[in-house]
Amino acid sequence: MTGSRSFAGPSAVPVRQAPEGRPGGGPGGAKPFRIAVFASGSGSNFQAIADEIQAGRLDVKLELLVCDRPQAKVVERAARAGVPSFVFRARDYPSREACETEILQKLRARQIDLVVLAGYMRILTGTLVEPYYGRMINIHPSLLPSFPGVNGIRQALEYGVKQTGVTVHFVDGGMDTGPIIAQKAVEVLDDDTEESLARRIHAAEHELFPQVIRWLSEGRVRLEGRRVRLVTKS
């Protein structure tokens, strides 16, 4: 789930392509492609990304975790992975905008190239969305535009669809309405429960999310209005 306030979406800022790739850690001392992951819960997608980096299959630098819940398991995962965390309580700020202004300062200080929303349950405002439009992505557990918002897995199961899946999309001014980068279908079985379907959905997320981050780090994603085009790796 993701959404934002006080930002009109793609028409509110100049549409620009996703950032050009800057592989990290490669020969010649190339500048690393820096990402920040925002998460609120257990952090299974954070872990999937960290594991791909550790295995050498994803050539980016996981620079920062942003979390709004100090007791969330993802904070422990970040500590074990040696990833710095910015952990906060929303009630300590007078407004969402004030909180996001501090987050934005931390992103800029670390020269973050891509913001990755991985189970971050706070609604964002234009304070963060606008400066990172085209450089902020979210993963959602359905084949958007079907079943946006919370409980996407439950919505699909209750509606009776035969296929659902996961979507990675750019973040704009709406609730899971940003331009779609990639999707992966997951079959809904006759005897599925919400828990059994969720296990396969999460497995698909853990495969698709690092792949999309890889494409972005390689400069292969082009954002053209609402259409997203994947170009051949040079």
b/e code 169-202 from CB counts within 10 Å (16+ = b): bbbbbeebbbbbbbbbebebeeebeeeebbebbb
Residue from 140, 169, 202, 206 carrying the catalytic annotation: 140
For this structure, is 140 an active site residue? yes
Determine the Cα–Cα distance for residues 199 and 155; give it in Å rounded to an integer: 16
Residues 94 and 64 sit within 8 Å (Cβ to Cβ): no
**Pairing of β 34-38 and β 114-117:** parallel
Bin 171: left if φ > 0, else alpha if -120 < ψ < 50, else beta: beta
Which residues carry out catalysis?
140
